[in-house]
Amino acid sequence: MPDISTGQCKTQEAACITKNTAIFSAGQQNFLHGRKIHRRIVCFSRAAILICFLFLWEFTARTGIIDSFIFSSPSQVARCIWEMAKDKSIFLHLWSTFYETIASFLLTTLISILAAVLLWCSTKLSEILDPYLVVLNSLPKSALAPLLIVWLGATQTTIIVAGMSVAIFGSILNLYTSFTGVDQEKIKLIYTLRGNKWHALSKVVLPSSIPAIISNMKVNIGLCLVGVVIGEFLAARSGLGYLIIYSSQVFKMDWLLMSIILLCIMAMLLYSLINLLEKWCGRRY
């Protein structure tokens, strides 16, 4: 005869599991709903702050609370962008700054990783170069720009090097610190299995340091943009930095504020690209 009590226990157990699953699913749905509401509130608040700022700026400029010649207004800036877009002059400045920033950023990232790998491979070399890297990182980079112009001339190369000089030394130090902070037990395991430094670097150090590399890139993209603008102040005939310094000299405040706003938009877009790279790396690794 079948065991009735055993069948009842199994039925009760299945019912409990179903009930717990339903409770968990409801809780999970509530959590996801709460996260969705949170994201909407954040997006709405950001948009509201921006709209309120633009409204107050436009209102105070039109009513004479602030001097529209000095502070301009959103409508005047938008008109300036439209006029320069029609004659296509703004695209030359945008492309110059964008190209120089990307070039300096890519070179900074590549050289930083190679230098950090070299320092990790040679402890003696890292001890020798450490004080020099600290001093160069602490040096005000704006002081180097005039010297770079004398050495390299007023060319695009000078501006790219100026952008690199702002970020590269700090980037090397940060990446080297990340490399040396990798779990030493994993590296010992590689050596125990008759691996060499290359195996330790490629299998442990670099994969473990991907979050640090991405975080470093987020910082570097902004620093390279700052360095490029500094270089354009002194050694450019195009670019948003050149437009800022020229418009301040001839008191065209619309151009100046337009350039600053475009720099903000460019920085935001470049940072978003690094965020996409971070998400891609997160899925892959």
Q: Write the CATH number for 93.
A: 1.10.3720.10
Query: Is residue 226 domain-shared with residue 116, that is, in the same domain?
Result: yes
In angstroms, the CA 17 to CA 11 distance is: 10
Residues 6+ apart with CB under 8 A from 164: 104, 107, 108, 111, 224, 227
The pLDDT assigned to 1 comes to 44
| Alpha-carbon torsion (147, 227, 89, 76), positive or negative | negative
Query: Is residue 251 domain-shared with residue 204, that is, in the same domain?
Result: yes
Instruction: Tell me the two tokens of residue 202.
Output: 């490629």
AA letter at 58 = E
Residue with tokens 């902070």: 181
Residue with tokens 């029609």: 86
Nearest CA among 156, 142, 154, 152 for reference residue 226: 142
The pLDDT assigned to 101 comes to 92
- Number of structural domains (the chain) is 2
Query: Is residue 62 domain-shared with residue 90, that is, in the same domain?
Result: no
The pLDDT assigned to 56 comes to 92
Q: Which helix (H) or strand (E) holds 19?
A: helix 4-63
Query: Is residue 60 domain-shared with residue 89, that is, in the same domain?
Result: no
- Measure Cα distances from 249 to 79, 238, 244 in Å: 21, 15, 9
Query: Is residue 55 domain-shared with residue 194, that is, in the same domain?
Result: no
Evaluate whether 247 touches 256 at the Cβ level (below 8 Å). Answer: yes
Instruction: Tell me the two tokens of residue 237.
Output: 């005939």
Kindly report the pTM of this predicted structure: 0.80
Query: Is residue 60 domain-shared with residue 92, that is, in the same domain?
Result: no
> What is the span of the domain harbouring residue 208?
73-284
Q: What angle do CA 198, 203, 208 make, to 5 degrees?
A: 120
The pLDDT assigned to 186 comes to 82
User: What is the C-alpha radius of gyration for the chain, rounded to an integer number of angstroms?
Assistant: 28
Query: Could you say which of 28, 43, 66 is where a domain stops?
Result: 66
Query: Could you say which of 66, 98, 114 is where a domain stops?
Result: 66
Evaluate whether 203 touches 266 at the Cβ level (below 8 Å). Answer: no
Query: Is residue 197 domain-shared with residue 237, that is, in the same domain?
Result: yes
Q: What are the pLDDT digits (tens) for 193-239?
A: 887 888 888 888 888 888 889 989 988 998 999 889 988 888 778 88
The pLDDT assigned to 241 comes to 87
Q: Give the count of beta carbons closer than 10 Å to the beta carbon of residue 171.
A: 26
Query: Could you say which of 47, 66, 85 is where a domain stops?
Result: 66
The pLDDT assigned to 17 comes to 46
- Measure Cα distances from 261 to 68, 74, 139 in Å: 17, 10, 29
Nearest CA among 258, 259, 182 for reference residue 213: 182
Query: Is residue 43 domain-shared with residue 165, that is, in the same domain?
Result: no
- Walk along the chain (285 residues) and give the pLDDT tens digit of each residue: 445 445 555 455 555 545 444 445 677 777 777 788 888 898 889 899 989 998 998 888 888 888 777 888 888 888 888 888 888 888 988 999 999 999 999 999 999 999 999 998 888 888 888 888 888 888 777 777 778 877 877 788 888 888 888 889 989 999 998 888 888 888 888 888 887 888 888 888 888 888 889 989 988 998 999 889 988 888 778 888 888 888 888 888 888 888 899 999 999 999 888 888 888 877 776
Query: Is residue 24 domain-shared with residue 125, that is, in the same domain?
Result: no
The pLDDT assigned to 233 comes to 85
The pLDDT assigned to 7 comes to 52
Backbone angles phi, psi at 235, to 5 degrees: -140, 40
The pLDDT assigned to 202 comes to 82
Query: Is residue 97 domain-shared with residue 207, that is, in the same domain?
Result: yes
Query: Is residue 174 domain-shared with residue 57, that is, in the same domain?
Result: no
Query: Is residue 9 domain-shared with residue 116, that is, in the same domain?
Result: no
